[in-house]
Amino acid sequence: MKTTPAIHISETLYNQARIAAASEQRTIAGQVEFWAKVGRAALDNPDLPVGFIAESLAAMAEPRSDAVLFVSRSRVA
């Protein structure tokens, strides 16, 4: 595994990431990285809602084997 230089963040941000990481089943570093990706995508796409961006990135990270086939409930005549 390749190591990268350490970065310093506030204790408050670290604790927020620790809590969010536990509920999202990510590492603390993974949570901070996810937040950074969401922030970058939000800056690159200011017309998209942040929630949409976050959900899209999370969905893209899920394994394809966990995907559920979409089946429309409406009937087309």
Report the C-alpha gap between 7 and 5 in whole angstroms: 7
Q: Is 6 inside any structural domain?
A: no
Number of separate domains in the chain: 1
- The one-character DSSP state at 25 is T
pLDDT of residue 76: 60
**Model-level pTM?**
0.70
Q: Three-state SS string across 7-30, please?
A: CCCCHHHHHHHHHHHHHHCCCHHH
Q: Is 4 inside any structural domain?
A: no
Report the C-alpha gap between 38 and 52 in whole angstroms: 10
pLDDT of residue 75: 66
Q: Is 77 inside any structural domain?
A: no
pLDDT of residue 34: 92
Q: In terms of residue numbers, what domain contains 48? A: 11-66
Mean pLDDT by 10 residues, the chain (77 residues): 84 97 93 94 94 90 79 73
Q: Is 1 inside any structural domain?
A: no
Q: Is 20 inside any structural domain?
A: yes
Give Cα separations from 39 to 13, 35, 65, 73 (angstroms).
15, 6, 28, 35
